[in-house]
Amino acid sequence: MHDEAHPLRVVISDDHPVVLMGLRSLMRNFQNDFCIVGEASQGKELLALLTKQPCDLLITDFSMPAGEDSEDGLQLLRRLRRRYPELRIIVLTMIHNLALVRGMLAAGANGVVAKTAMTRELLQAMQVVSSGQAFLGEGMQGALSHAAKADAAGSGPDETDSAAANMEMLSPREAEVVRMYANGLTVTQIAERLRRSVKTISQQKSDAMRKLGLTSNTQLYEFARGSGLLT
C-alpha cells in the first residue's frame, strides 16, 4: 500500500524522447505527489527496469516498436499484469482504435489517455488510478459509449460512421495483428513476437481483411493509417 506521506513512485516509458521530456516537465510541478524513479524507451528495457526499480504507477506508451526480442502492445500489458498484479498502469497513446482500447483495458490497463490530451487529462488520470479506480480519457470514453449505444440499439451505421463500424468488427487480437503488420512486421515476425503460430497470425490477418472488405496489403495499410491503429 502506498504511503501517502511520500510521493508516488512513477516509471515512464515511451520510444519518443519528446514525450518523456513532456512527462518530466508535467510532473515537475507535482513533486510532492509524484516522483519519477525510472524511464524506458521500449518494452524489453521497461521489463528489465521494473525488476530492479519498484514503483507504484507506470505510464507507458502502447506502441513501442523495437528489436525482434522486444515487446509492446497487448502482449506487453498482459506480461506486466501477470508479473505485477498490484501495479497501476496508465497507457498514454496516439492509438484511438476502439477494439484496441478495449483490449488495453482487458489486458490490465487501469487507465487510457490520448497523448493529444496529456496536458489536460494525465494528472487527473494519475490521481484517479492511484486511488484504485479506472480512468478513460474523455474522447475515448465518448467513443466507447457511442459504440455501446449503437450496439444496444442494433442500428446500422450511416456512411459517416462506416470507419468506426469497420473498426468495431475487429477483435482486439485481430486489431493487434493489423497494427503490427502495418507497422512493418512480417507475419512470421508477428508470430514470433506474439508466440503464436504463423498459421494463426495469417488466419487472423485474413479474417481482419475479410471483415473489412479489403483485398490487398496496401488497402490494409491505408485502413490502419486512417483508423487509429498507427502511431
Q: Closest Cα partner for 100 from 43, 179, 44, 213? A: 179
Task: Please classify residue 167 by burial: count the beta carbons closer than 10 Å to its beta carbon, then call 0-12 exposed, 13-18 middle and 19+ buried.
Answer: buried
**Kind and range of the H or E run holding 165:** helix 162-169
pLDDT of 141: 72
What domains sit in the chain, N to C, each tagged with a CATH number?
A: 8-139 (3.40.50.2300), 158-226 (1.10.10.10)
In whole angstroms, what is the distance from residue 117 CA to residue 9 CA? 22
In whole angstroms, what is the distance from residue 54 CA to residue 3 CA? 14
Contact 167, 144 (CB under 8 A): no
C-alpha distances out from residue 142 to 12, 49, 209, Å: 26, 35, 27
pLDDT of 153: 53
In whole angstroms, what is the distance from residue 197 CA to residue 63 CA? 22
pLDDT per residue, tens digit, the chain (231 aa), is 445 567 899 999 998 899 999 999 988 888 888 999 999 999 999 999 999 999 999 999 988 876 656 678 888 999 999 999 999 999 998 887 777 888 899 999 999 999 888 888 999 999 999 999 999 988 777 666 655 555 555 554 443 344 445 556 788 889 889 988 988 889 999 998 888 999 999 999 999 999 888 889 988 888 887 776 765
Contact 14, 64 (CB under 8 A): yes
